[in-house]
């Protein structure tokens, strides 16, 4: 029994306050300035014995479509479409305004189940507004005080019959949550995320690379706002989605820089936010702007992801704006190999976040990178491989005594890490290690992923 409730209404009526009450944590921002909370925000809500998902929406004002308000209006429409039931909130102390009427219009056109809530109705000052709320023609309004927690019983009473209706619906369609494990030959153990543990992806990149646009497009909804307006709050830190049954959680680093106002500050912040996101993530998507690829900041973040041992995918965005695509792609591949040798073979995918072109390939690359990151190779295969490598190219012989490689095993996954038992490990040198790492990559199909190689002497 699960359903989604969206709280809609114009700015400052108290939507976030109700959201906080239902979720029980201070996830949403509350502020006296209209329009502070502008993103869709999801939370797991409780009301009595009811459990459901609550969406806190943007406020909206009457405006044309390419203004900020216009886009917020669109966002509200999306929320209504996503929801099973909407709480339409007005400010009972103000009464019904033309903007409220506009929201009511949307709800009449699209909403299935609407509960009208006249908020801020503690005390007598609200009486007039509560009565006015009947005039919206959307049913009997409930008197609510989100701030004081009054009227929640009435909200519960209106929700209960609806929730029974939804659970009836859930019983009749059976969801499929079958996740198959790719384990064909029985020994290479590839782990696949279970439905309750989504694949964690971070999208990192310079400001304006198109991170928000990309995440929006992947979500298929304008869940985050993008654009040049200053002060847009993007504090949705992560969003969850479903790729053909694979649950994926994407960390929105754009959202982590909501407080920055000045451009230079943005540059700095986006690096440290990137660091945070990298730590959360299993797969890091480094989003480049095709017009200015492989800038210093891009390289730093890719290197950081490698050092943190994350799976990496390079996505080159704004590919729609490129003219000579094949020449450009050749150049990009060369630069990638030259500038990121530590991530040899890293998948490089060209995308247009704007048009959505290439996003299916990006999703595949992310899933593949995750699988590679989880690669496990049996000890038998490794040792067979090792003797071949030594035969083809013997280890160095510092001061006349050749280093002996005795034995090898995989010590860890995520990322793959291998231990080589040998004599004089400290004299092995970087180039022989690199030879082994590159050999591992090629033979066991581990492009792009960080690979750790530990040389140990037998004690
Ligand atoms: P939103 O923009 O619709 O999400 O509104 P907020 O939740 O941010 O609330 C706007 C302002 O209204 C804040 O200052 C809240 O403290 C205040 N507020 C919210 N609910 C109530 C209420 O029940 N009574 C009163 N008096 N103020 C409230
Ligand atoms: P963020 O700062 O990385 O989140 O970047 P945004 O998503 O806000 O995008 C910055 C600008 O680049 C916006 O004006 C977008 O419309 C534009 N943009 C994003 N993706 C693309 C794309 O694929 N092609 C083109 N031509 N422009 C894009």
347-389 tens-digit pLDDT: 999 999 999 999 999 999 999 999 999 999 988 899 999 999 9
Alpha carbon distance 2, 168 (integer Å): 10
> Six-digit token pair at 247?
């649950």
Q: Number of H helices and number of E strands within the chain? A: 12, 15
Ligand 1 atom with the smallest distance to the CA of 34 is 2
Cα(105)–Cα(99) distance, integer angstroms: 10
The CA 41 to ligand 1 mean position distance, Å, reads 17
58-72, 156-170, 387-401: range with lowest mean pLDDT: 58-72
Task: Tell me what ipTM this predicted complex has.
Answer: 0.54
Q: Which residue has the higher pLDDT, 71 or 320?
A: 320
Name the token pair of 64.
């044309």
Residue 107 has pLDDT above 60, yes or no: yes
The pTM assigned to this predicted structure is 0.55
At 458, is the pLDDT very low, low, confident or very high (cuts 50, 70, 90)?
low
Q: How confident is the model at residue 290 (pLDDT cuts 50, 70, 90)?
A: very high
- Which pLDDT band holds residue 34 (cuts at 50, 70, 90)? very low
The pLDDT value recorded for residue 440 is 96
Residue pair 38/29 in contact by the 8 Å Cβ criterion: no
CA 61, 63, 68, 74 torsion: positive or negative?
Answer: positive
Phi, psi of 74 (to 5 degrees): -60, -40
List of E strands, 168-254: 199-205, 238-243, 246-252
pLDDT tens figures, 427-449: 888 899 999 999 999 999 999 99
d(CA 407, CA 126): 79
Q: What pLDDT was estimated at residue 272?
A: 61
Of the residues 209, 210, 267, 277, which should be mutated to test ligand 2's pocket, given the most ligand atoms within 8 Å of the CB? 210
Pocket of ligand 2 (CB under 6 A): 205, 207-213, 226, 254, 317-318, 320-321, 352-354
Picking from 108-117, 185-194, 335-344, 435-444, which range would have the lowest pLDDT averaged per residue? 185-194
Give the ligand with the smallest distance to the CA of 226: 2
DSSP string, 51-120: EEEEEEPPP--S--TTSHHHHHHHHHHHHHHH-SEEEEEEETTT---HHHHHHHHHHHHH-SSEEEEEES
- Cis before 56 (ω within 30): no
- How far away, in angstroms, is 78 Cα from ligand 2 center? 21
Q: Residue 311: in which H helix or E strand, if any? A: strand 311-317
Of 312, 314, 337, 332, the C-alpha closest to 451 is 312
Judged against a pLDDT cut of 70, whether residue 50 lies above it is answered with yes
pLDDT at 422 over 50: yes
CA of 119 to the centre of ligand 1 (A): 8
- Report the pLDDT value the prediction gives residue 237, as an integer from 0 to 100: 57
pLDDT category of residue 249 using cuts at 50, 70 and 90: confident
pLDDT of residue 320: 97
Q: Whose CA is closest to atom 2 on ligand 2?
A: 208
Tokens of residue 315, six digits: 């996505």
The best mutation among 208, 216, 256 to test binding of ligand 2, ranked by most ligand atoms within 8 Å of the C-beta, falls on: 208
- Token look-up 């991170």 returns 211
């Amino acid at each position: 029994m699960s359903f989604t409730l969206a709280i809609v209404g114009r700015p400052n009526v108290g939507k976030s306050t109700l959201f906080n009450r239902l979720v029980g944590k201070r996830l949403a921002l509350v502020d006296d300035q209209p329009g502070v909370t502008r993103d869709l925000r999801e939370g797991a809500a409780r009301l009595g014995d009811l459990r459901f998902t609550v969406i806190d929406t943007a406020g909206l004002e009457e405006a044309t479509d390419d203004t900020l308000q216009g886009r917020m209006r669109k966002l509200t429409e999306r929320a209504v479409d996503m929801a099973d039931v909407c709480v339409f909130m007005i400010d009972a102390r103000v009464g019904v305004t033309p903007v409220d009427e506009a929201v009511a219009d949307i709800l009449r056109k699209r909403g299935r189940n609407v509960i009208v809530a006249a908020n801020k109705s503690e005390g007598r000052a609200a009486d007039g507004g509560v009565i006015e709320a009947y005039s919206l023609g959307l049913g009997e309004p409930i008197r609510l005080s989100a701030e004081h927690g009054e009227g929640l019983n009435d909200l519960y009473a209106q929700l209960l019959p609806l929730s029974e209706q939804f659970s009836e619906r859930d019983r009749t369609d059976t969801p499929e949550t079958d996740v198959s494990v790719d384990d064909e030959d029985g020994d290479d153990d590839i782990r696949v995320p279970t439905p309750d543990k989504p694949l964690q992806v971070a999208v990192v990149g310079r400001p304006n690379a198109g991170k928000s646009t990309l995440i929006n497009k992947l979500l298929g909804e304008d869940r985050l706002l993008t654009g040049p307006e200053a002060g847009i709050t993007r504090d949705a830190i992560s969003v969850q989605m479903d790729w053909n049954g694979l649950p994926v959680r994407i960390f929105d680093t754009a959202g982590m820089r909501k407080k920055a106002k000045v451009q230079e500050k943005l540059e700095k912040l986006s690096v440290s936010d990137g660091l945070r996101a990298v730590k959360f993530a299993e797969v890091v998507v480094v989003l480049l702007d095709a017009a200015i690829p492989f800038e210093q900041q891009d390289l730093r973040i890719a290197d950081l992801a490698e050092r943190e041992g994350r799976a990496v995918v390079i996505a080159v965005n704004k590919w729609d704006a490129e003219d000579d695509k094949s020449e450009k792609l050749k150049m990009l591949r060369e630069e990638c190999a030259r500038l990121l040798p530590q991530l040899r073979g890293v998948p490089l995918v060209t995308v247009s976040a704007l048009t959505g072109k290439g996003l299916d390939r990006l999703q595949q690359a992310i899933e593949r990178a995750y699988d590679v990151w989880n690669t496990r190779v049996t000890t038998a295969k490794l040792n067979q491989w090792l003797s071949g490598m030594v035969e083809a190219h013997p280890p160095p012989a510092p001061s006349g005594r050749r280093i002996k490689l005795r034995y090898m095993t995989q010590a860890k996954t995520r990322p793959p890490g291998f231990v080589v038992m040998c004599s004089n490990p400290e004299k092995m040198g970087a180039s022989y290690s690199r030879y082994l790492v590159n050999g591992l990559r090629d033979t066991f199909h581990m492009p792009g992923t960080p690979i750790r190689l530990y040389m140990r002497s037998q004690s």
